[in-house]
Amino acid sequence: MKEAIKKAIEHIDEASKRKKIRVISHYDADGITSAAIFSRALQRWGKNFSLEIVKGLEEQYIESLPNDELLIFLDLASGSLNYLAKKGVETIVFDHHEIIQDIPENVRMINPVIFNQEPLSGAGVCYLFAKELSDHNHDLATLAVIGMVGDMLDKNLSKTYGIILQDAETVVKRSFLLYPSTRPLDKALEYSSNPYIPGVTGSYKGVLELLRDAQIPRKNGIFKALYELTDEEMGRLITSIMLRTNSSSKTEEMIGNLYLIKFFNKMEDAREISALINACSRMDRPYVALGFCLGNKSSREEAEKIYREYKQHLVSALRYVSEAEKIAGNKYQIINARDNIKDTIIGTVASIVSHSPVYERGTVIIALAYNEDKIKVSARIAGDSGRNVREVLTKAVINLGGEVGGHPEAAGCLISKENEISFIEELKKVLDIDLVKV
Ligand SMILES: [Mn+2]
């Protein structure tokens, strides 16, 4: 892949002398950190460019792009190659997603998938590009760590990630996975929705009981942060949490590495920074998150404010869900939030609901929210085992049209608003029939 990156650098250098460069990146934490790394690297290289952050690549959008610029896609486009072939414009893609179509002649692809390389996030790919360009770009490694954590590629660390973690001077620590690990434990536990700890999440009294059981001491009246715990304290904390959560939930999944990075000269938890970036995007402010990643101080204040608003938004969305009328069937719940919940957070809401103990394991949770003239649909499964929800959605949209993406345990799709009623009818049919078969 190193050779391919070198060729891409030559390509950009040469193209920049004859046309404009347009960089387009994805709006999640990996995409925004990709954009930050890439744009800082281009800026230091002395190249002019424009930058856009998008939710996804629809055919119409690609059609609307100019024909006389060099298009550079970050953290997306591997799944949209047919549209790019049709467009026929000079394009470079730095991505890590699965490639499902032939790579057209007008597209240069930098993707670990085609080089049989170990998995990397989009920001990881962009960091390798930046590092190849100049040693001065070493400092951008921190952003690559945030992107990696954002895409949850931190479970199986590759050799390349070992180097990136080193470049970023990351402190890695085995721990129970709860964030932010850099803030006092009582606060982190009280607001923890993933994992949802029954009797503790949302209850300060429950938090204090848990911390007493685990014998976590206060220091000057303040509880230690997760990353400051000794091995013994960590062990006791894990036991106390396990006693309160569903015993069938897998312990190994709740334990992993904490990634502690220096950001704005402060020790931060990479997961928390990634959550903050995602929050800005979901509140329709991806450019604030980008400014934050680039070290802009006023963006930082703004981003933190948006993050607080986002959390409040999430709380009211969850309250809406618990109070709203739902379409309940045998082992399924359909929540039609219409415009009461933002389409950008409906997936998160569905995930939190599926992790809460309110629904029996195996219950299919399907949540709908309006997105202009479309409806965003998110499907999850309570307790993470049961029916294949991607299949459920695929069957429900067969006659209506709509693309389904995701995995058997978490999937989503976008349907036309005029199909709202017929979609719900189809969905109920599929869910009822499927159950009979089971
Ligand atoms: Mn990504």
Q: How far is the CA of 144 from the centre of ligand 1 (A)?
A: 11
CATH of domain 324-437: 3.10.310.40
d(CA 121, ligand 1 centre) in Å: 5
Q: How remote is the CA of residue 430 from the centroid of ligand 1, in Å?
A: 32
The domain segmentation of the chain, as residue ranges, is: 2-167, 171-316, 324-437
pTM of the model: 0.84
Segment holding 386, helix H or strand E: none
Phi, psi angles (nearest 5°) of residue 97? -80, 165
Compute, in angstroms, the gap from residue 267 CA to the centroid of ligand 1: 24
The string of DSSP letters for 294-345 reads TT-HHHHHHHHHHHHHHHHHHHHHHHHHHHS--EEETTEEEEEEETSS-TTT
**CA 122 to ligand 1 center in whole angstroms:** 5
Let me know: does 405 contact 416? Beta carbons within 8 Å. no
How far is the C-alpha of 245 from the C-alpha of 281, rounded, in Å? Answer: 31
Cβ neighbours of 232 (radius 10 Å): 9
How far does residue 39's CA lie from ligand 1's centre (Å)? 17
CA distances to 166, 283, 340 from 313, in Å:
37, 9, 11
Structure tokens at 388: 């294949």
Per-residue pLDDT of the chain (438 residues; tens, 9 = 90+): 999 999 999 999 999 999 999 999 999 999 999 999 999 999 999 999 999 999 888 889 999 999 999 999 999 999 899 999 999 999 999 999 988 889 999 999 999 999 878 889 999 999 999 999 999 999 999 999 999 998 877 777 788 999 999 999 999 998 888 878 998 999 889 887 777 787 888 789 999 999 999 999 888 889 999 999 999 999 999 889 888 876 555 667 778 889 999 988 889 999 999 999 999 999 999 999 999 999 999 999 999 999 999 988 888 888 898 888 899 888 899 999 999 999 989 998 998 888 777 788 889 999 999 998 999 999 999 876 788 999 999 999 988 887 788 888 889 999 999 999 999 999 999 998 755 554
- How many A from CA of 248 to the centre of ligand 1? 31
Same fold, 2-167 and 324-437: no
Hey, which CATH number is domain 2-167, 3.40.50.12160, 3.30.43.10, 3.40.190.10, 3.90.1640.30?
Answer: 3.90.1640.30
